[in-house]
Amino acid sequence: MAVKGGCRLEKACDEVEISLRTYRRWYHSGEVRADRRPDAIRPAPANKLTEEERQAVIATCNAPAYAELPPSQIVPGLLDKGIYIASESSYYRILKACGQLHHHGRSRAPAPSQRSRCHTATDANDVWMWDITYCASVVKGVFYYLYLIEDLYSRKIVGYEVHEKECGHLAALLVQRTLLREQCLFKPLVLHSDNGAAMKSQTLKAKLEELNVLPSYNRPGVSNDNAYAESLFRTLKYRPQWPCSGFKSLADARKWVDDFTRWYNDEHKHSRIQFVTPSERHAGQDKMILMHRRQVLEAAKQANPARWSGDVRNCSPIEAVTLNPGGKTGDKNAA
């Protein structure tokens, strides 16, 4: 019908998702032929197992000595005895055809992982990430807990506290205080974390709903979904000043984290935001700083052009930042 109406045959075939060759095989002399593929006589492959060999594979797998073993263990065991029936892949194929290929043991069968939650920040206080890390004390087995919230767009530590325990109530209070400090109370905001007990506590969930904050979580068992927070903890614990022997007291831990946060936000030039400080980017000052750097470099290039083989260093500001690019886009209905 489409071809009679003036459409090109190739375009019409693309629309119904068949190839031009298939169309010409099915349609001949003005009539549609039946699909003859199911009735086609195909020669048996030269390497096809005989029926006796197939039955030998099934009998071997069902034998008491091999009933609890996978083909990857059965075949080498038989080879040690000088016996070869078929390859491991043939074993798996035959067992699947017979309905005998099942997952054994108490562990769950492998399942495809879900797509990670994807969020994009185009400005400060669009997306926050938070986590809790252990801070050892000088007493073995006793820890302090650092609650830390990081802004995705600027990488600034916008909220942090150190406590002697880990619970959702303390996390809820920290989130509320951080929203007040950043003057973004009731602004639509995403808070991403892993699946820890404090992160998924009912107390915190109720507080986030009250504050119009959308919770977002890692995929189960996947720590990389909160990579920015994990990277920040690595920076924290690899500082030369980090007390490897532990903190003497809660006050000592809080003071150390205060000093680190001041350095990280106001002095540390972050490599992923074009070597400006998180505080400068959070305040929107990075564009002017990077523009000034480019002017200095352009002047240096004009003064000594022979020292430059190409353009000056890239001083373009980083635009939007995406958490878990390629994942499933977050929305208000699915956290």
pLDDT computed for residue 332 by the predictor: 42
pLDDT computed for residue 333 by the predictor: 37
Distances (CA, A) of 52 to 55, 56, 57, 129: 5, 6, 9, 61
Contact 53, 78 (CB under 8 A): no
Side chain identity, residue 178: T
The CA distance from 58 to 94, in Å, is 8
The CA distance from 48 to 129, in Å, is 56
Q: Which residues lie closer than 8 Å to 261 by C-beta, 6 or more apart?
A: 157, 160
**Residue carrying structure tokens 């920015």:** 228
pLDDT computed for residue 63 by the predictor: 93
The CA distance from 193 to 147, in Å, is 11
pLDDT computed for residue 16 by the predictor: 79
Extract the residue ranges of the chain whose pLDDT is less than 70: 1, 4, 30, 104-107, 111-113, 330-335
pLDDT computed for residue 218 by the predictor: 92
Cα Rg of the chain, angstroms: 32
**How far is Cα of residue 305 from the mean position of the Cα atoms in its chain?**
44
The CA distance from 266 to 283, in Å, is 11
Backbone angles phi, psi at 226, to 5 degrees: -120, 50
Q: What ranges do the domains of the chain cover?
A: 1-34, 51-97, 117-273
Q: State which fold the 117-273 domain adopts.
A: Nucleotidyltransferase; domain 5 (3.30.420)
Q: What is the pTM of this model?
A: 0.69
**How far is Cα of residue 135 from the mean position of the Cα atoms in its chain?**
26
The CA distance from 312 to 141, in Å, is 53
Tokens standing for 224? 């990389």
